[in-house]
Structure 1
Amino acid sequence: MGVRLLLDTHILLWITLKPELIPSSLQVQLSDSQNQMVLSAVNAWEMSIKHALGRLPEAAPLLADFPAVAARLGADMLDISPAHAIRAGALEWTHRDPFDRMLVAQALEDGLRLVTLDAHITGFAQAPILR
């Protein structure tokens, strides 16, 4: 079995709406049948908040049926657990974005590799980033 890949929200948006933005090195990892993509409730939460604020109108079709998006991608779904919440709060990290903190906490807690190009996350040494 390959690696379980937790997608950061921008990667999910790119895969579904603008696949040309995905670097070829990530495309190889994401398309490897040995690897398993994982979508988090955090992705839906982040898109929903930003969509409601008018900052992410393109997320509407993804939010309309988020489980179907996961199914189309062959991705597993990951809920937010109390262990994730506690880990997110305990991270020794100055970055305060709750979505980023929760995704990193989920990756650490569940042994996942986080797929992201977000410099805030990639600069955090403890984050288990797919490189």
Structure 2
Amino acid sequence: MILLDTHIVSWLAFEPENISKKAAEVIAQARLVGDGLGIADMTLWELAMMVSRGRIQPTVPLESFLREIEANFIVFPVSASIAARSMQFTAAYPSDPMDRVIGATALVQGMSLVTADRKIQASKEVPFIW
């Protein structure tokens, strides 16, 4: 199983051409063999914010869009372990709380994070695919 960063979920739905060839192959393989694709629960909130700010425009009402995302991904809630781990990143890791929760989710669940975020990649604190 792999964990997808919020922008990857958005790109899958609206701009798949933005996803790197390697990431697209890993995502397709995870779907094919049934390993599954995971997201942090905060990704649902971030997607809702993207819709409310007009950055993405689903063709269905917001709640229907979010329910469709829920149905197609394994959603990992913030646990005590994830919350605690999100506070243990170094200064090299992005300070954005959502990035920290998503990164901590990947670490606690033992998954690689599919992300194009260069700051996350440069920190080398979370195994990533891009």
TM-score (norm 1): 0.82
Please show how residues 1-131 of structure 1 align to structure 2 within 5 Å.
4-32=1-29, 33-34=32-33, 35-52=35-52, 54=53, 56-58=55-57, 61=60, 63-65=62-64, 66-71=66-71, 73=72, 75-94=73-92, 95-131=94-130
Instruction: Find the aligned partners of 1:89 and 1:62 in 2 and give their Cα distance.
Output: 35
Could you list the per-position Cα deviations for residues 100-122 of structure 1 after superposition, in whole angstroms to 9, with x for gaps in the alignment? 11111111111011000101111
- Deviation of residue 49 (structure 1)? 3.7
| Equivalent pair of 2:106/2:112 in contact (CA under 8 Å) | yes
In structure 2, relative to structure 1, the CA distance for the partners of 1:25 and 1:88 (3 Å cut) is same
In structure 2, relative to structure 1, the CA distance for the partners of 1:84 and 1:70 (3 Å cut) is same
Alignment gaps of 5+ in structure 1: none
- Deviation of residue 51 (structure 1)? 4.2
- Deviation of residue 96 (structure 1)? 0.9
In structure 2, relative to structure 1, the CA distance for the partners of 1:15 and 1:105 (3 Å cut) is same
Aligned identity (percent) is 25
Amino acid across the alignment from 1:105: A
- Deviation of residue 70 (structure 1)? 3.5
Amino acid across the alignment from 1:101: R
Alignment gaps of 5+ in structure 2: none
- The farther-off stretch of 89-98 and 102-111 is 89-98
Amino acid across the alignment from 1:122: Q
TM-score (norm 2): 0.82
- Coordinate RMSD, CA, aligned: 2.1
Instruction: Find the aligned partners of 1:62 and 1:103 in 2 and give their Cα distance.
Output: 25
Instruction: Find the aligned partners of 2:46 and 2:129 in 1 and give their Cα distance.
Output: 21
- Deviation of residue 58 (structure 1)? 2.8
